[in-house]
Structure formats: C-alpha cells, structure tokens
Amino acid sequence: MSLPVLKTARLVLRPVAQGDADRIVELVGNFDVARMLSLVPHPYRREDALWWIDQTCAYADGGERAFAIDEGSGLIGAVSVGRDGPAPEFGYWLGKPYWGRGLMTEAGRAALAWYFEAFRDASILSGALDENSASLNVLRKLGFAGPHPHRLRIKSRGQDLPGTRVRLTFETFNSAARVLS
C-alpha cells in the first residue's frame, strides 16, 4: 500500500522517493532547519537521508507516513503523520528558502485531513521547542491544543531544551479550519 498524492492550492504532497535524497541533504543539512528537529543529526549525510527515505517507504510495516512537499520543481520539505498507534506523531520541516509563505500550514492541513478521513478517532501528538515561534504558530493554526511543557532532546545540538507538547483531535482540527476559512 502506498501513500496517495494530495493536491492543495500551491502544493503537491506525494510519497517520498529515493530521488529526493540530494534535496533532503541540501535542505535538512542547513543547521537552521536541523537545530529545531529532535532526531536529525548535523552534519546531515546522504546516508542519513537514504535511511529516512527507506523507513518512510516501509510505512505499512511500521515506518512513518511521510509526504514529500513539492512545489512543482522538486521536494521543498516533508510532513509526516506518524506511525500506526493510538497517538501518532505529526512532524514537519520546510527548506529555509520556502519559509514564511504559509506553506507549512497549507501542507499540514492537507496531510491531517487525509489522515482523519481514515482514522476519525485519532488523537495526534506534536510539539515544538519554545524558541520555535513559527512552528508553534503552525500547530496553533492547525488546531493543536492543550499545551503542556516538555523537554525535547535535540540531537544536532546535543541538548535537552524546553518545549511544548500539543494534541489534535478531529474536532479541534475542524474548528480551526472553520476559523481560517
């Protein structure tokens, strides 16, 4: 079973492919991206990208459901709605040249709508560092709520840093979408 292709006003969300490795290395290799992500090492090597691609492609066997975010000229970021289980994780990043245009809110909404179509009762977890205002704003706009403090391990910095965990249900997702439409 493979992930579908989802279209939004400006983006295509599609399964990640081996051919995305170079773009992922280039974009995640930027420390400004890596420093906000828990599990991403820095420097980021091609083998790190290939490992990540392999496990997302095997999502039916317990890997992540991760979409490549594509603006038409190749991968610009990724959004994932987690592994099977009672509380899947929502994770995401965009390459730095693409920040600040509302693209992650748009991509996140499409991925979450797709997920809730299949798993209406899901309770999706996410979180961000307290210093990551852009990410906390994305989560709030998508309807994630009930913030509680949580220290996050950041591999690229070798540090545990203050962060916030939040949760999304179908109801809070829909309410947020109504406010924005």
Ligand X SMILES: CC(C)(COP(=O)(O)OP(=O)(O)OC[C@H]1O[C@@H](n2cnc3c(N)ncnc32)[C@H](O)[C@@H]1OP(=O)(O)O)[C@@H](O)C(=O)NCCC(=O)NCCS
Give the sheet arrangement for strand 66-70, strand by strand. Answer: 6-7, 12-15, 66-70, 75-80, 91-94
Considering only 1-9, 67-75, 96-104, 116-124, which stretch makes contact with ligand X by CB under 6 A? 96-104
138 binds ligand X (CB under 6 A): yes
124 binds ligand X (CB under 6 A): no
Cβ 115 vs Cβ 124: under 8 Å: yes
Q: Give the burial class of 72: count Cβ atoms within 10 A of its Cβ; 0-12 exposed, 13-18 middle, 19 or more buried.
A: exposed
Q: What is the DSSP letter of 90?
A: -
CA dist., res. 166 & res. 159, Å (int): 21
Binders in 36-75 for ligand X, by CB under 6 A: 36-37
Residue 55 or 105: which CB sits closer to ligand X? Answer: 105
Considering only 42-50, 51-59, 60-68, 136-144, which stretch makes contact with ligand X by CB under 6 A? 136-144
Assign residue 26 a region (left: φ > 0; alpha: ψ between -120 and 50; beta: otherwise).
alpha
Residue 32 or 121: which CB sits closer to ligand X? Answer: 32
Considering only 9-17, 54-62, 99-107, 117-125, which stretch makes contact with ligand X by CB under 6 A? 99-107
Residues that bind ligand X (CB under 6 A): 33, 36-37, 92-94, 99-105, 128, 132-135, 137-138, 141
